[in-house]
């Protein structure tokens, strides 16, 4: 059963440096097989975050093309396929969880990749607010693209 498989990689959705700090600490404590950060901070920032955490960077890959949540998944498919990934830990924030998890289940699920979400709490005012209408429209577009 896919749900009981161990996680093959952590998949960090960009848009929050807090998520990147979280995954660096995670890598430091428990060396993960792979980490994919989709449209996160610029290279020097990621390098500094991992360096400050004393976490190895050699298994971290930065996907830099995505410009939306759905593209985070679409542009990451070739990377995850190349790695032979069957289950990812999706790292996102509470304000982004519903939308991100649904899209991940549709887009990555279509590729046979199981998704397990992990929430990273944000501090202060979130950088982005997720509007229900935007979520609905983007999910509908993703779903129609898979029909």
Q: How high is the pLDDT of residue 137?
A: 65
Instruction: Answer yes or no: is pLDDT of 109 > 90.
Output: yes
Q: How high is the pLDDT of residue 122?
A: 83
**Domains detected in the chain:** 2-145 (3.40.50.620)
> pLDDT digit string (tens) for 10-65?
999 987 889 999 999 999 998 778 999 999 888 889 899 999 999 998 889 999 99
Q: How high is the pLDDT of residue 124?
A: 62
**Residue 78 banded pLDDT, cuts 50, 70, 90:** very high
**Residue 133 banded pLDDT, cuts 50, 70, 90:** low
Parallel/antiparallel/unpaired status of strands 35-38 and 60-63: parallel
Q: Which residue has the higher pLDDT, 135 or 63?
A: 63
Is pTM, for the whole model, over 0.85?
Answer: no
Q: How high is the pLDDT of residue 135?
A: 61
Whole-angstrom distance, CA of residue 40 vs CA of residue 38: 6
Q: What angle do CA 134, 94, 111 make, to 5 degrees?
A: 70
What are the DSSP calls for 16-37, one per residue? -HHHHHHHHHHHHHS--S-EEE
């Amino acid at each position: 059963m896919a749900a009981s498989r161990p996680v093959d990689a952590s998949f960090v959705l960009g848009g929050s440096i807090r998520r990147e700090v979280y995954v660096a600490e995670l890598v430091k404590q428990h060396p993960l097989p792979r980490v994919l950060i989709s449209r996160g901070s610029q290279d020097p920032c990621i390098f500094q975050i991992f360096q400050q955490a004393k976490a190895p960077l050699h298994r971290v890959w930065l996907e830099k093309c995505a410009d939306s949540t759905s593209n985070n998944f679409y542009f990451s498919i070739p990377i995850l396929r190349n790695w032979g990934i069957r289950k990812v830990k999706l790292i996102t924030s509470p304000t982004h969880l519903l939308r991100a998890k649904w899209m991940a289940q549709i887009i990555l699920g279509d590729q046979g990749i199981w998704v397990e979400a992990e929430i990273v709490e944000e501090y202060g005012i979130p950088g982005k607010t997720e509007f229900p209408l935007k979520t609905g429209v983007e999910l509908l577009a993703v779903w129609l693209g898979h029909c």
